[in-house]
Structure 1
Amino acid sequence: MPNRSEVITPALLRRWALPVPTGGKEARGTVLVVGGSRFTPGAVLLAGVAALRAGAGVLQLAAAESTAAALSIQVPEALVVGLPETGDGAVAGRPGDPLDGLVADADVVAVGPGLTDIDATGELLRGVLDAAPKQTALVLDAYALGALSHAPDLLVGSGRPVVLTPNLTEATHLLGRDPGDDLDAEAAELARRYDAVVSLYGHIAAPDGRCWREESGDAGLGTSGSGDVRAGLLAGLLSRGAEPAQAACWAAFAHAVSGQRLVPRFGRIGFLARELLDEIPHTLATV
């Protein structure tokens, strides 16, 4: 039987309202973004700022050492830690302290934005999983998904709250084949195989068989850095206390509608990923 997915609408999201934490920033959680390279620090910046715009209370960035000073200036709201690099400028495999301490204390860890070396990313991902308490939510994106495809049982049976955010290329690696036209079914297959919530181009699936789809996304979202924004948006919603499937549905909707809000100013395909960031709070607030 084909998977029957529910369309994500404002009415659905209002019935599935996000937690509204009270108190200080600690009540909205700590997001740690692990990623970047000497040549791709912007991915970490986009994901981190998106997490804050989605409501995270505390932001920490762990990126290639050569980019840390610039990131700390560009994102003054964040604690920024430089990680050892390979000769090619990629983040090295198992940095150890201080990354292990940051992972252990974070509520959400997003791994992948801007990473560039698949082998080093595999070591880094294992290090994060070793250091993260079982209740820590994880968002795996970009090269972290490639690393996961090389170790498909890494999350199975772990009981961890995890969301995977593949694009079609990354879905190909995770599936071991080209995705078919039915992305609802492909997302469901990935969710079952990897025991995680999957958000594939607005098609969301949980391991228990529940499926949703977001239908308002347009071509403009297919722009450099857009996936980093989506990953950070997800992390921020998880940090506020949303459960993985809920966060994935809200993030897919907020990502798409934030793009719609930019169309009158920039056209369907003229806006930049960084311009999505300022639209996120208003989009979430007006559901």
Structure 2
Amino acid sequence: MPNRSEEQVITPALLRDWPLPDPQGGKESRGTVLVVGGARCTPGAVLLAGVASLRAGAGRLQLAVAAESAVPLSIAVPEAKVVGLAPDGAPTDEILGLAGSADVIALGPGLDDVDHTVRLMRAVLARAPEETALVLDAYALGALSKEPGLLDRRRAVLTPNLVEAAHLLGREPGDDLAAAARELAERHHAVVSLFGHIAAPEGPAWREESGHAGLGTSGSGDVRAGIVAGLLGRGADPAQAACWGAYAHAVSGLRLAPRYGRIGFLARELVDEVASTIASL
């Protein structure tokens, strides 16, 4: 493992020496992932994150989205239990019950109002057990920038883009993204995956170098968050899930390049490469 002053490059050899848990038994052994997000106009973000979590190895999938999207989404993702948020975007008692038994909760994909997201996160995290792992993405990171105490030192992975990192930092992250990731990790006591730079709080750091311009497409970040959630579900610790997730996300894009070039593939096509990318290691 690298020391705090340097980043170790994530390579296939590094990951093979850091193997993912291989849970045995039924789907319960690979964890239940609950994805909470999907505002009225963006339910597809939850679909991408949820299916990516299954491709990464999660055993059971539950999705919480705007109520009007719940039935169509349940048809689009027949593998998942899909429930609707209240009309004001608040979690229903059913969703809070799911949060109380989930192994992993991914918050943020497809949400579009930061104040609603703050209230949603307060309610969901108040119900989630202390051992539940978290993935915060998109508007959940905006909510965290408003209320840094929401995490309360839980096991979590933050997956900001550069804009979200700026909100969390209160300034532009600048050119030294490794330093920005370390600062956020220490500030929020969580693993941070920022544009290929992964940092653990008070611990080591890594760098994923396979990423390329094609990953900068709509929905790509939702896929990455879902991969991390699925890896957490199957038993990876947050740093391992972030490193394996960054690699699987980037290399899935490389695998699409022969068909579509470096740009032009869709986030949903990334999802279809995740399982084979992980299996190739």
Smaller-chain TM-score range?
over 0.9
Structure 2 segments unaligned to the other structure (5+ residues): none
Aligned partners of 1:28 and 1:256: how far apart in 2?
23
Contact 1:18 1:242 in 2 (8 A): yes
Aligned to 2:279: 285
Shift of 1:2: 8.5
Same amino acid, percent of matched pairs: 70
Please state whether the residue corresponding to 2:182 is helix, strand or coil. helix
2:60 to 58, 61, 69: 58
- CA offsets per residue over residues 92-149 of structure 1, 9 Å max, x none? 23x2401110001100000000001110100011111100100000000000000000
Aligned to 1:117: 113
Shift of 1:29: 0.6
Aligned to 2:79: 77
Is residue 2:237 matched to residue 1:243? yes
Counting only pairs closer than 5 Å after superposition, residues 200-219 of structure 1 correspond to structure 2 as 200-219=194-213
Aligned to 2:142: 146
Is residue 2:162 matched to residue 1:168? yes
Aligned to 2:70: 68
Please state whether the residue corresponding to 1:252 is helix, strand or coil. helix
After TM superposition, where is structure 1 displaced by more than 4 Å over at least 4 residues in a row?
none
Aligned partners of 2:87 and 2:8: how far apart in 1?
44
Is residue 2:23 matched to residue 1:16? no
Aligned to 2:177: 183
Contact 1:56 1:237 in 2 (8 A): yes
Is residue 2:193 matched to residue 1:199? yes
Aligned partners of 2:52 and 2:150: how far apart in 1?
27
- CA offsets per residue over residues 136-177 of structure 1, 9 Å max, x none? 00000000000000012332xx34210000000000000000
Aligned partners of 1:2 and 1:83: how far apart in 2?
41
Aligned to 2:93: 97
Counting only pairs closer than 5 Å after superposition, residues 214-225 of structure 1 correspond to structure 2 as 214-225=208-219
The change in CA–CA distance for 1:20 and 1:165 in structure 2 (over 3 A counts) is same
Shift of 1:84: 1.3
Counting only pairs closer than 5 Å after superposition, residues 128-143 of structure 1 correspond to structure 2 as 128-143=124-139
**Aligned-partner residue type, residue 105 of structure 1:** S
Contact 2:153 2:188 in 1 (8 A): no
Aligned partners of 2:117 and 2:153: how far apart in 1?
22
1:260 to 224, 241, 254: 254
Please state whether the residue corresponding to 1:153 is helix, strand or coil. helix
Aligned partners of 2:29 and 2:270: how far apart in 1?
25
**Aligned-partner residue type, residue 237 of structure 2:** E
Contact 1:109 1:139 in 2 (8 A): yes
Aligned to 1:275: 269
Aligned partners of 1:38 and 1:123: how far apart in 2?
17
Aligned to 1:89: none
Aligned to 1:25: 27
Please state whether the residue corresponding to 1:216 is helix, strand or coil. coil
Contact 1:31 1:108 in 2 (8 A): yes
Task: Give the TM-score, by structure 2 length.
Answer: 0.97
Shift of 1:31: 0.3
Please state whether the residue corresponding to 1:81 is helix, strand or coil. strand
Contact 2:46 2:65 in 1 (8 A): yes
Aligned partners of 2:244 and 2:26: how far apart in 1?
23
Please state whether the residue corresponding to 1:109 is helix, strand or coil. strand
Aligned partners of 1:159 and 1:220: how far apart in 2?
34
**Aligned-partner residue type, residue 107 of structure 2:** V
Contact 1:3 1:185 in 2 (8 A): no
